[in-house]
């Protein structure tokens, strides 16, 4: 049996935000996660909100906050503080975020030659943000033999004016495929492999040299160069600095299909922060718990190898994700089930799961499925908003009902604002005293 | 034949429906690849997703043989699954609960089942045989294995790398040092399950590190438990790792036959080798398909020793009269321990020892992965996997480090020159230090003396 003041279920952005802020407040925190997902899949920027017609993230957040049932209704006020905190936490680990909630949303190139709207990006992607000026060229550059980034196809998409959705766009888009050193004859070449190569100062010097040489002979005109997001995994700041120094055009990274290297950097930074504060992270088993007659959840249980692993906690944060992250499971029989406590899910009936138009612009009703809460993030039944179902449980992140993170681009904003609020709510939650104090760094039990 | 019949027959043709069909849950997200220590260092292994769930569709694929209407299994021509070290991180990191490592282990066994095992792989699985022979001829065997020329020959002939860590054999087995009463099989007159535990020493403590077994007995007796050491054989893990499932099932059956009686009678089975205890807890079921009442009873009764001691502590029953060990102790959590899903109990126990500053090295894998890093074609991969860990241990400046698994200890010791200890050895040392402190503080006190000499 293990003990924690607060058990956080889920190791995505919401769960780690809550866990770190609780650990900062002196709580003994243990994070339990089935596996890794959100951070390893996400592009690595902070999507706080983007709607058609909204000029800034803040515009979008304010509009979403007025939608009935959207979590921003009670989370929007805390978002600026949550973002400031995240910026400083990541900055301390060498990962800088560029952009503000009040900055204009821009069309950012993607790895399939489309664009997406963004305003807050990691430093490595930030050169994509400033408005394109007349005469500027975009060079889309990728290594030969890399199957997740095809410069010619990407450039073809980005040459179409409609791709840019009315936002400023480059005057010209060029494609450039470069042979990088030491890659010939490899059986496999993933984004992880490339990112690890870029961690090596010698290799990256020759690779950047090869790219710089391929750019020689181009007309001397202003421009930027889009590279796949592989500029270092463990030593990204150094790789980025080297690219900026050696390349004649301002480089920016383009997010790739999972696993996301910028997402891994984000995860690594948050994990390191949590460990330094004595927090624990145990990955590998799905946990479950029961709401007791006293309206509290006293412990969580995980199957483990032979006997259940039992974690006793004074309070619990559920940040397990929505229908995409595994926090909500659709059962064959037609019900939506919350996977840890079996909380009632606010979501569509079985008959509404299949859409007539699979590309309905309103989105899929399952996207918005989730757990309803009161303004203190305590779970409630969909029809009884005033009566919390569990006093010591808080819901955070994509598990919150009423958001459509794919349509509204609000997932990261909701994650950090709810993670922060959950931490504020649960400060001072204690479990039974433990005989020994935490000494030294935190630790991770699996993975 | 209808499609429904085909599907039913195809599912029946798979020997491992639970593990094999979990491939259907795979989202192809590659999270497993991000945590794979082998794919991190070599291009020879494409990563768990590719050799696991992705290749599984070929392995599960069955075709109707022309004419006969019989189903036959399709064999994948890709054998890179052999480079999987079996660390299990892919399974723990998977958000969709796909049993990737288990799938890979089974695939390796299946790919080897069609031909005779190579001598090296067979030999690495026979830990009782090599252990017994080694102990019998210890002075000679240890000289031979310490000899560069001999190791070169072994490398050339059977492909065990000449640089790989092979620990010296003990001159006596752990079992031979025990009193006869402890070695007996299950008997009704053993102390009650409340006051006694069964010790599973495994091959490492028996043939190479009897001092680890002795430390376990000291610490368990110190906490008021009589220690029963019933007859036992290798848990079977080295056989599983080398694809020799049939033999591994034999070892499992032998152990279960002895241990089930104790488990049913309520005794807990405690082991110092975290990979043996994990094998008994999980792999008899997940890999070897032994899922009967005996196996379940034994699995539920089995504890890693640190897990057991921490549980005692949670109940307020652990003797915490530890003396001061004023030192920094780098600690590596082995892959197999992490598959237990019990956290890192050794670190919690170290926190109880005054002065001891245990530091989690926070590295995935030391590389050895049981017998993986001994093989000539994999030695360099294993060393590359472990190098960041070795560097952290060297940087710590500590002369001693701790780890719960024997093969990891040998690997880290060989690579760094640091002396590696099982956590229970550290605890035994802390108890001894506590006894000395008690005597110094109050020399004439007969009670303190008698406590210190109780063992």
Residue-wise pLDDT for A135-158, tens only, equals 999 999 999 999 999 999 999 999
Query: Residue A198's closest CA among A122, A131, A146, A154?
Result: A146
Residue A208: per-residue pLDDT: 98
Residues of B with Cβ-Cβ distance to A435 under 8 angstroms: 313, 320, 352
For the ranges A184-188, B270-274, B297-301, B353-357, the lowest mean pLDDT is seen at A184-188
From the list A187, A286, A444, the residue facing B43 with the nearest CB is A187
Query: Which value does ipTM take for this structure?
Result: 0.91
Residue B391: per-residue pLDDT: 98
**Percent of chain B whose predicted confidence (pLDDT) is above 70:** 87
Residue B236 in this model has a pLDDT that exceeds 60 = yes
Tokens of B373: 């890093």
For the ranges B51-55, B169-173, B445-449, the lowest mean pLDDT is seen at B445-449
Residues of B with Cβ-Cβ distance to A440 under 8 angstroms: 357-360
Residues of A with Cβ-Cβ distance to B98 under 8 angstroms: none
Tokens of B211: 């001092």
Residue B74 in this model has a pLDDT that exceeds 90 = no
Q: Tell which wins on pLDDT, A37 or B170.
A: B170
Q: Within B355-422, where are the H helices?
A: 379-396, 406-416
For A390-418, the pLDDT digits (tens) are 999 999 999 999 999 889 999 999 999 99
Residue B14: per-residue pLDDT: 47
Nearest residue in A to B25, CA atom? A326
Give the domains, in start order, of chain B with CATH numbers: 3-112 (1.10.1060)
Residue B25: per-residue pLDDT: 87
Residue A447: per-residue pLDDT: 38
For chain B, the average pLDDT equals: 89
Residues of B with Cβ-Cβ distance to A41 under 8 angstroms: 29, 31
Residue A434: per-residue pLDDT: 40
Residues of A with Cβ-Cβ distance to B35 under 8 angstroms: 36, 447
- Nearest-CA distance from A193 to chain B in Å? 7
From the list A37, A41, A447, the residue facing B92 with the nearest CB is A447
Give the domains, in start order, of chain A with CATH numbers: 2-47+265-446 (3.50.50.60), 111-254 (no CATH)
Q: What would the mean pLDDT of B64-77 be, rounded to a whole number?
A: 63
Q: What would the mean pLDDT of A50-74 be, rounded to a whole number?
A: 96
Indicate yes or no: CB of A284 within 8 angstroms of CB of B92: yes
Q: What is the pTM of this model?
A: 0.92
For B363-394, the pLDDT digits (tens) are 999 999 999 999 999 999 999 999 999 999 99
For B78-113, the pLDDT digits (tens) are 789 999 999 999 999 999 989 999 889 888 888 777
Residue A439: per-residue pLDDT: 36
Indicate yes or no: CB of B364 within 8 angstroms of CB of A447: yes
For B144-181, the pLDDT digits (tens) are 999 999 999 999 999 999 999 999 999 999 999 887 65
Residue B455 in this model has a pLDDT that exceeds 60 = no
Nearest residue in B to A193, CA atom? B40
Q: Within B227-282, where are the H helices?
A: 237-241, 245-264, 274-278
Residue A11 in this model has a pLDDT that exceeds 90 = yes
Residue A286 in this model has a pLDDT that exceeds 70 = yes
Residue B186: per-residue pLDDT: 55
DSSP 3-state percent helix, strand, coil across chain B (nearest 5): 55, 10, 35
SS3 B391: helix
Nearest residue in B to A440, CA atom? B359
Indicate yes or no: CB of B31 within 8 angstroms of CB of A304: no
Q: Tell which wins on pLDDT, A268 or A332.
A: A268
**Percent of chain B whose predicted confidence (pLDDT) is above 90:** 76
Residue A442: per-residue pLDDT: 41
Indicate yes or no: CB of B282 within 8 angstroms of CB of A305: yes
- State how far the alpha carbon of A38 is from the alpha carbons of A101, A182, B50, B187, in Å: 22, 32, 21, 54
- Nearest-CA distance from B324 to chain A in Å? 15
Q: What would the mean pLDDT of A96-101 be, rounded to a whole number?
A: 97
CA distance B428 to B433: 9
Mutation for testing the B interface, residue in A305, A321, A323, A339 having most B CBs under 10 Å? A305
Q: What is the 3-state secondary structure (H, E, C) of chain A?
A: CEEEEEEEECCCHHHHHHHHHHHHCCCCEEEEECCCCHHHHCCCCCCCCCCCCCCEHHHHHHHHHHCCCCCHHHHHHHHHHHHHHHHHHHHHCCCCEECCCCCECEEEECCCCCEEEECCEEHHHHHHCCCCCCCCEEEEEEECCCCCCCHHHHHHHHHCHHHHCCCCCCCEEEEEEECCCCCCCCCCCCHHHHHHHHHCHHHHHHHHHHHHHHHCCCCCCCEEEEEECCCCCCCHHHHHHHHHHHCCCEEEEECCCCCCHHHHHHHHHHHHHHHHCCCEEEECCCCEEEECCCCCEEEEEECCCCCCEEEEEEEEEECCCCCCCCCEEECCCCCEEECCCCCCCECCCHHHCCCCCCCCCCCCHHHHCEEEECCCCCEEECCEEEEECCCCEEECHHHECCCCHHHHCCHHHHHHHHHHHHHHHHCCCCCCCCCCCCCCCCCEEEC
From the list B33, B300, B357, the residue facing A190 with the nearest CB is B33
């Amino acid at each position: 049996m293990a003990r924690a003041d607060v058990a956080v279920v889920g190791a995505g952005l919401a769960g780690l935000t809550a866990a770190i802020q609780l650990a900062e407040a002196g709580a003994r925190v243990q994070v339990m996660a089935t596996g890794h997902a959100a951070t390893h899949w996400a592009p690595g920027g902070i999507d706080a909100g983007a709607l058609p017609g909204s000029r800034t993230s803040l515009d979008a957040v304010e509009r979403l906050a007025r939608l009935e049932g959207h979590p921003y209704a009670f989370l929007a006020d805390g978002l600026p503080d949550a973002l400031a905190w995240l910026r400083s936490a990541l900055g301390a680990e060498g990962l800088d975020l560029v952009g503000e909630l009040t900055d204009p949303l821009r069309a950012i190139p993607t790895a399939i030659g489309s664009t997406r709207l963004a305003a807050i990006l990691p430093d490595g992607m930030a050169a994509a943000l400033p408005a394109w000026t007349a005469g500027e060229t975009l060079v889309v550059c990728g290594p030969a033999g890399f199957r997740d980034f095809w410069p010619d196809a990407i450039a073809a998409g980005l040459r179409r004016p409609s791709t840019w959705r009315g936002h400023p766009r480059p005057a010209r888009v060029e494609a450039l495929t470069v042979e990088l050193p030491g890659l010939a004859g490899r059986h496999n070449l993933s984004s992880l492999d490339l990112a690890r190569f870029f961690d090596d100062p010698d290799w990256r010097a020759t690779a950047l040299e090869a790219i710089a040489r391929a750019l020689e002979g181009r007309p001397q005109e202003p421009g930027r160069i889009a590279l796949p997001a592989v500029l270092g995994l463990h030593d990204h700041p150094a790789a980025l600095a080297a690219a900026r120094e050696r390349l004649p055009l301002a480089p920016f990274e383009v997010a790739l299909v999972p696993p996301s290297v910028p997402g891994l950097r984000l995860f690594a930074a948050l994990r390191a922060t949590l460990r330094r504060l004595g927090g624990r992270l145990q990955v590998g088993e799905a946990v479950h718990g029961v709401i007791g007659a006293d309206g509290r959840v006293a412990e969580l249980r995980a199957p483990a190898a032979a006997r259940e692993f039992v974690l006793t906690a004074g309070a619990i944060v559920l940040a397990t994700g929505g229908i995409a992250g595994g926090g909500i499971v659709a059962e064959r029989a037609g019900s939506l089930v919350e996977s840890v406590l079996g909380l009632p899910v606010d979501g569509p009936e079985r008959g509404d799961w299949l859409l007539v138009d699979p590309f309905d612009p309103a989105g899929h009703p399952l996207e918005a499925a989730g757990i309803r809460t009161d303004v203190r993030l305590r779970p409630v039944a969909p029809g009884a908003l005033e009566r919390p179902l569990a006093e010591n449980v808080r819901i955070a992140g994509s598990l919150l009902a009423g958001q459509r993170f794919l349509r509204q681009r609000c997932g990261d904003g909701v994650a950090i604002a709810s993670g922060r609020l959950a931490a504020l709510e649960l400060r001072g939650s204690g479990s039974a005293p433990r005989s020994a104090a935490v000494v030294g760094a935190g630790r991770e039990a699996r993975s | 034949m209808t499609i429904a019949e085909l599907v039913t027959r195809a599912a029946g043709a798979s020997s491992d429906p639970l593990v094999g069909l979990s491939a259907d849950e795979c989202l192809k997200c590659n999270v497993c690849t991000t945590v794979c220590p082998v794919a991190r260092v070599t291009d020879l292994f494409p990563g768990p997703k590719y050799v696991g769930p992705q290749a599984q569709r070929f392995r599960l694929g069955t075709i109707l043989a022309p004419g006969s209407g019989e189903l036959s299994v399709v064999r994948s021509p890709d054998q890179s699954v052999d480079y999987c070290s079996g660390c299990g991180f892919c399974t723990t990191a998977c958000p969709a609960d796909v049993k990737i490592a288990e799938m890979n282990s089974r695939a390796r066994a299946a790919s080897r089942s069609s031909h005779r095992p190579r001598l090296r792989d067979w030999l690495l699985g026979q830990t009782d045989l090599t252990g017994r022979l080694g102990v019998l001829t210890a002075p000679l065997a240890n000289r031979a294995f310490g000899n560069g020329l001999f190791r070169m020959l072994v490398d050339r002939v059977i492909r065990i790398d000449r640089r790989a860590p092979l620990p010296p054999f003990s001159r006596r087995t752990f079992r031979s040092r025990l009193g006869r009463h402890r070695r007996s099989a299950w008997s009704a007159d053993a102390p009650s399950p409340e006051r006694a535990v069964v010790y599973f020493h495994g091959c490492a403590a028996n043939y190479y590190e009897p001092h680890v077994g002795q430390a376990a007995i000291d610490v368990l007796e110190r906490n008021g438990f009589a220690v029963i050491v019933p007859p036992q054989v290798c848990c079977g893990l080295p056989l599983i790792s080398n694809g020799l499932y049939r033999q591994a099932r034999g070892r499992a059956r032998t152990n279960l036959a002895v241990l089930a009686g104790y488990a049913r009678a309520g005794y807990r089975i405690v082991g110092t080798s975290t990979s043996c205890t994990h094998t008994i807890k999980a792999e008899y079921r997940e890999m070897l398909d032994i899922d009967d009442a005996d196996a379940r009873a034994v699995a539920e009764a089995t504890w890693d020793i640190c897990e057991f001691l921490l549980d005692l502590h949670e109940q307020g029953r652990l003797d915490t009269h530890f003396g001061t060990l004023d030192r920094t102790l780098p600690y590596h959590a082995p892959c197999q321990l992490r598959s237990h899903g019990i956290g890192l109990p050794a670190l919690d126990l170290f926190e109880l020892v005054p002065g001891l500053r245990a530091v989690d090295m926070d590295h995935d894998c030391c590389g050895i992965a049981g017998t993986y890093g001994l093989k000539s074609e994999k030695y360099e991969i294993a060393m590359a996997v472990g190098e960041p860990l070795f560097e952290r241990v060297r940087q710590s400046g500590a002369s001693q480090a701790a780890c719960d698994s024997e093969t990891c200890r040998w690997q880290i010791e060989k690579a760094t020159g640091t002396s590696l200890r099982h956590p229970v050895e550290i605890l035994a040392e802390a108890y001894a230090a506590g006894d000395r402190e008690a005597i110094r503080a109050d020399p004439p006190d007969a009670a303190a003396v008698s406590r210190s000499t109780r063992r």
